Amino acid sequence: MNATFARFCLSLFAPAIALATVAPLFAESIGESRPSSEVMPTIIERFTPQDVQETPDFQKHVSPLMGRLGCNGRSCHGSFQGRGGFMLSLFGYDFKADHAAIIEGDDPRVDTDSPDESMLIYKPTDEDMHEGGKRYELNSWEHHVLHNWIKGGAKFEPSNVAVLERLHVTPEEIVFNDKDQSEPLRVVAHWADGTQEDVTPLCRFTTNDDQVAEIDGEGIVTGVEAGDTHVVVAYDKAVVAIPVLRPVSKLIGANYPAVPTPTKIDELVVHKLKKLGIVPSDLASDEQFLRRVSLDIAGTLPSPTEIRAFVADSDPNKREKKIDQLLDTPAYVAKMTTLLCDITGNNDQQLVNVSPMRIGPAQEWYDWLYDRVEKNVPYDELAAGIILARSRLEGESYQEYCEEMSDMYRDGGSFADREYMTHYWARREFRQPEERAIAFAYAFMGVRIQCAQCHKHPFDVWSKNDFDEFKTFFTGARFANQPPRFDRAGFAQYEDILNKLEIDKELRGNQQRREFAKELRNGKTVPFPELVVMPVSNISRNAKNKKNRKGLASRSPEARVLGEEAIDLRDYEDVRQPVMEWLRQKENPYFARAIVNRIWATYFSVGIVHPTDDLSLGNPPSNEPLLDYLAKGFIENNYDLKWVHREIALSRTYQLSWVPNETNRLDIRNFSRSVPRRLPAEVAYDIIQQATAGDQSMGTYLTNIEDRAISIPGTRIQGNASYPLQIFGRSERASNCDCDRSMEATLLQTVFLQNDFSLHASMANSDSWIGEVQKSLSPQIDKRATETGKLQANIKRLYEQMGNGRAAAERQAAKGNQMRAKEIRERLAAGKKRLVYLREQLEKAKANEKKEKVQPVAFDSPAEMVTEAYLRTLSREPSEKEMTISLSHLRSSEKPVNGLHDLMWALLNTKEFIVNH
């Protein structure tokens, strides 16, 4: 490779294309405050005087004060083990347990007869005695609060917990004009008894981005750099996020330029950009748009023919038509199905004992989803087919179920035809109610609820009690090898089916399943594992018995869906049903928002809520009206997934150029430009194969998905794709987190693109594009023709040898040398067999030549060859400079095809190729 071309390669690597990260989520409407005259002053104002007589409330004042002092923090008494023999709930939201920890035990922390002798007072005011150092001063307002509470009897009534109706924070939005400006927050608690109190000194304050805004313990917000973020206020169970922004330019208000907003998405995006003084980039070119939308919707590069036709098309609606065309391709279905497999956890290693046949349950899972995405089944129906899954349909016996399943596997039927997708409930890490609650919330609500498993969620309203009640909805279903004994009829049918099979009844596990498979192939009906849904009638009985028979989970007859009203489970046949009904409510804050936010992230790299699996009050959307619009429209359009894709792709926001201007060059969360982003692992691998494939094959990638990485069902990957998919970050589907998929750039990815043997082999094999070009440039006949010619020559030579042999045998016989004549005839017999074999091979070679012969690629000039290489990889024609350097290298190469190989290698290694922009 000459020096000029080497510099050219480096110039292709050079464009700096930043990866998108970040962006927070989802705030709650808090309501209006009452007139300030009715609001109690702050606890500081009331308890600073030395003669204060007021007795504070444990829940409203003492517990949050201990949070302000750090007593119930992670590094102090709020840690899992506590500290110094004293343990509090993290952030102090378990009032009953914390009160007991303070007043009970062998060494209580309070002395109601001598308040100042209480450890709660004398240790935190003594720096030497208290391991955590001095937390407050004697005679301070903090001291007066704790002293008066202890003096008043250190009371708390668990049966009379105060209910916080709302938390009102002012201002509701902060806009700074300059750096280091400050704004104090005022926080008023509205209690169910009608009282209102300024609780600003008792709140926890955090910032979601300290590069934009800082907030101190007093609730004073200070602007830092230009941009936008949220500060989060937490008190009692309430969490409120307040937007904070500082314009990045003077282009705000009347100074903001006219920007087209042809869609509702554009209106909502530009509305916020106006506040920030950010002007969107220009529209992307046709080539950029076509490449971007093809990769985002279908994970496929446009072919050179498609690019030329699209650019030449003068139809003003051609972009809309292209979007619709892509949404109707098998490639879109496969890519969307893969996303749903990621979300729902289709993992081969987690699926065991699903079927007696060696048919991959991960493939069945994928097929079931693929069928519904292809038919564009409403998302709520698709979700219901998973959430409410059961093996037997209504009125179906276990015998009938096993007969149906046996016929399906024996006759080659499709699992996709079944009404429910039961495999979701068969995963090994999905057996306990806690595991199910966490995984369910992640998949269908986009929330990380696991924090509430042990303590109150730090960034949302869920408590440990909320979690415990929520997990109750997931105790009624389990995957079993046989019907439970409470299903007497089903269990009897299982034993009857088993007795009719000619297998050793002592066999268990894999040995038994292998025998079942043999019997199934022999036409027998065999027992099948099934998803058992426990009758609700067992709830009351089970709730009374802590030790139940194996398989019968203990449950309360009532439960709540994350703090909602109590639901009597005895009103439902299936305890999962009220959860599905709750998800389908139009006001549900999670179900629709979670999936539209995840789809949005596939187009912009970051979600409107980021991370996409963290829809919490403390992580609000970067543009809440935008997320509300998409979620509402999704529901109004009958949960139509294609509506979401089309709505996003049709927006001017999506079609903006990646080229930044002075106002938006640092914007990564407000969608003012296209932020170039890494491709999903499957798409990255597929486009490498597609760009190097022969002409005929390249154009089939939208319709032929049989060998594509975007159609791999589970997590078990075999063959050449295994290593590249791993290093490019394919989802492991190992935990309840979108972080199972990595979108980060790594050194291994660079090494693979530069040096991996499989990549070079894909460029150089005879069926590749370069292989086709080589055939067109070579005077030799192609490989198939060469094989045919060789066979024909060998047959001709063998005929001549056999003719000579017959003459020789006759001469030896005439001389009386019978032994020699016999040897010659034996060789002639062997030659006849060889002749038959060669004729058979010749016929096969001719058939293959006729079937597989590829027309050689013809180019009128080297410039056409260079242009084709650019269109195949970067989906654009080369610039004049790029063309000049490329042609120079081709001419200096020993063989033109070697120069073309170098050019393709260089293009595949550009950031422009391996990212979407």
For 205, the 3-state DSSP assignment is strand
Tokens describing residue 568: 């009597």
- H and E: helices and strands count for the chain: 35, 17
Helix, strand, coil shares of the chain, percent, nearest 5, are 50, 10, 40
Burial of 766 (0-12, 13-18, 19+ CB in 10 A): middle
Q: Tens digit of pLDDT for each residue in 805-848? A: 777 777 777 777 777 777 777 777 777 777 777 777 777 777 76
Neighbours of 796 (CB within 10 A): 10
CB proximity list for 90: less than 8 A, separation 6 or greater = 72, 73, 74, 78, 79, 454, 455, 456, 458
Q: What is the pLDDT of residue 813?
A: 77
Asked if the model's pLDDT at residue 220 lies above 90, the reply is yes
**Confidence category of residue 92, pLDDT binned at 50, 70, 90:** low
Percentage of the chain surpassing pLDDT 90?
47
Beta partners for residue 166, in sequence order: 190
Give the integer Cα–Cα distance in Å for 134 and 724.
56
Q: Extract the runs of DSSP E, i.e. beta strands, from 701-807.
A: none
Q: Tens digit of pLDDT for each residue in 339-365? A: 999 999 999 888 877 877 666 899 999
Tokens describing residue 473: 């909805």
Tokens describing residue 115: 């308040």
Crossing angle between the packed helical segments 3-13 and 896-908, to the nearest 10 degrees: 20
Tokens describing residue 268: 């909502």
For 496, the 3-state DSSP assignment is helix
CA 320 to chain centre: 27
Beta partners for residue 230, in sequence order: 243
Asked if the model's pLDDT at residue 509 lies above 50, the reply is yes
Asked if the model's pLDDT at residue 781 lies above 50, the reply is no
**Confidence category of residue 187, pLDDT binned at 50, 70, 90:** very high
Tokens describing residue 134: 């001095």
CA neighbor of 70 nearest in space, from 131, 161, 18, 16: 131
For 773, the 3-state DSSP assignment is helix
For 829, the 3-state DSSP assignment is helix
Asked if the model's pLDDT at residue 279 lies above 90, the reply is yes
Neighbours of 332 (CB within 10 A): 25
Q: Which residue has the tokens 């750096």?
A: 179
Identity of the amino acid at 210: D
- Report DSSP state, residue 139: T
CA neighbor of 601 nearest in space, from 638, 654, 672: 654
Which range (288-302, 698-712, 760-774, 859-873) has the least confidence? 760-774
For 48, the 3-state DSSP assignment is coil
Which range (632-646, 778-792, 820-834) has the least confidence? 778-792
For 227-255, the DSSP string reads EEEEEEEEETTEEEEEEEEE-SSS--GGG
* pTM score: 0.84
Give the integer Cα–Cα distance in Å for 641 and 372.
11
3-state secondary structure 302-365: CCHHHHHHHHHCCCCCHHHHHHHHHHCCHHHHHHHHHHHHHHHCCCHHHECCCCCCCCCHHHHH
CB proximity list for 525: less than 8 A, separation 6 or greater = 399, 402, 403, 406, 497, 500
Average pLDDT score over the chain: 84
Q: What is the pLDDT of residue 486?
A: 80
Q: What is the pLDDT of residue 501?
A: 87
Which range (163-172, 286-295, 380-389, 563-572) has the least confidence? 563-572
CB proximity list for 229: less than 8 A, separation 6 or greater = 24, 207, 208, 209, 212, 213, 243, 244, 245
Asked if the model's pLDDT at residue 28 lies above 60, the reply is no
What is the rounded average pLDDT of the residues 411-436? 89
Tokens describing residue 28: 């709650």
Q: Which of 55-69, 272-286, 697-711, 734-748 has the highest mean pLDDT?
A: 272-286
CB proximity list for 748: less than 8 A, separation 6 or greater = 727
Q: What is the pLDDT of residue 10?
A: 44
**Confidence category of residue 14, pLDDT binned at 50, 70, 90:** very low
Give the integer Cα–Cα distance in Å for 819 and 744.
79
Q: What is the signed CA dihedral for 494, 499, 505, 510, rounded to 10 degrees?
A: -50
